[in-house]
Structure 1
């Protein structure tokens, strides 16, 4: 029986699966370092993959199939920061805002709610990045620039007005504060409107593996689903109906932000899953 390779992060809901079995788990930390090797050279049989990268890989025809299982998800109204007392939301127009990569999924969600809920002109902002795209061939918009980093230092120096990063990535003691002072209320309102939690990372598989050995794919999918069930966390879920609305919103945001040029349907994105496992 073949042992398949997998690049999946260390979470409570993945611990049991990663403890042993027929899957060989790559040691990749942080997990986003596995994304480019997966979409550029199909380095692994299975991989956790950021949703924005999934959408770009689908459009580029990369031989990776999306599986409707959320390995990481969260709200992101707290994921944009300013210097204490720095420029506010209304002052972002025409400014520079830092984000690790323009294609980063946290940035996708932050830009999405800034535009849809606060009327921010995303094209009028210069997006200052330290990393390029993971999917080869993607051309970044003209208002994206690269700097050597780190972005927190650029923010503290006033070189950018704000920076996009998850709360856990903010250095301890950094004099930063959320750009949205009412982020908790904004988060609750977003959930009330959409009835879903933003998705960061999905499980993916090489399409050839899904075609040739769907039983192995089902085995890993079911094992991870059991871990999600044990957690009982609304940010984690599986199955097409459970992920559909968040995926639809992400597709719309991605098209608006020039990450993709067409808007695939949920059925198109999960066609391989439905065909071989559905």
Structure 2
């Protein structure tokens, strides 16, 4: 990243959500041209260059990827604001033309996933283990992409699919038993049904039991920006807070899915760390406070 003090141009990578759209629309003007928003679609394409090359000053980031980045001491740090969250029970699907599977039936089967460390997959595996007693080590995971961190290696029960395939295509062809898919789930194939029989009801019951908001994406800033220009990080964070306060936050099943502040996020972040540890995405338990730089830990308090 260029010398921030000299350039004073802040490159920002954000997706389009109710909470971010006002910032992307007005942020450049409000900061006198300081904030420059990158046009990246889908926003997931920003994650690998941010992790590997520190490509942006501020970036949206998948939470499982960030936890791994912290474990590997990458020079980026979390801001306490969630941009995207969703209940993941509906993402585990099978092809009813070939079989109707329930969660425990997945043991011994092959399940397609975009990458082993994908956040949606992390949550879905956590659900299978914690809520349905599925032994994750007995599932054969078929991956289609590398994870965002070059230093991470998938576990022995994960293997790579042949080049040129997708989770959806192999599931539709009956070449795998099930798949975990979020936005890439085909909407026009009635054969693809959820493995969890009542995903909406079970997600509600799961939340009533564990009180965990399944965060997908949060925001990170480069260590250089945080340490050289903490007032800019504060300015950006305050814009998120103001956007939500103006009514631009989002809900799912009546729940706030843009929680802000460490105290509000703590319980859900603890669940993220536990799932990452159980699934061998990280090799030691991180505390929530370790996820934040000294200069970002107090934001939102």
TM-score interval for Structure 1 and Structure 2 normalised by the shorter chain: over 0.9
Q: Structure 1 residue 260 and structure 2 residue 282: aligned?
A: yes
Corresponding residue of 2:120: 106
Bigger drift between 92-101 and 188-197 goes to 188-197
Aligned partners of 1:13 and 1:224 also within 8 Å: yes
TM-fit CA distance, 1:185: 1.4
The one of 1, 14, 24 equivalent to 1:18 is 24
Aligned partners of 2:61 and 2:217 also within 8 Å: yes
Corresponding residue of 1:134: 148
SS at match of 1:78: helix
Distance between the aligned counterparts of 1:53 and 1:29, measured in 2?
Answer: 18
Q: Structure 1 residue 231 and structure 2 residue 248: aligned?
A: yes
Distance between the aligned counterparts of 1:102 and 1:225, measured in 2?
Answer: 33
Corresponding residue of 1:150: 166
1:66-215 correspondence to structure 2 within 5 Å: 66-84=78-96, 85-147=99-161, 148=163, 149-166=165-182, 168-174=183-189, 175-215=191-231
Name the CA shift for 1:225/1:159 in 2 (closer, same or farther; >3 Å). same
Corresponding residue of 1:34: 46
Corresponding residue of 2:262: 240
Aligned partners of 1:211 and 1:276 also within 8 Å: no
Distance between the aligned counterparts of 1:118 and 1:28, measured in 2?
Answer: 37
TM-score, scaled relative to structure 2: 0.88
Distance between the aligned counterparts of 1:33 and 1:79, measured in 2?
Answer: 21
TM-fit CA distance, 1:169: 2.3
Name the CA shift for 1:259/1:126 in 2 (closer, same or farther; >3 Å). same
SS at match of 2:273: helix
1:39-58 correspondence to structure 2 within 5 Å: 39-58=51-70
SS at match of 1:67: strand
Aligned partners of 1:86 and 1:161 also within 8 Å: no
Distance between the aligned counterparts of 1:45 and 1:210, measured in 2?
Answer: 9
The one of 233, 236, 258 equivalent to 1:220 is 236
Deviation per residue, 1:246-270 (Å, 9 max, x gap):
1100100100001000111111112
RMSD: 1.6
TM-fit CA distance, 1:228: 2.5
Q: Structure 1: which 5+ residue stretches go unaligned?
A: none
Aligned partners of 2:82 and 2:217 also within 8 Å: yes
SS at match of 2:11: strand
TM-fit CA distance, 1:277: 8.2
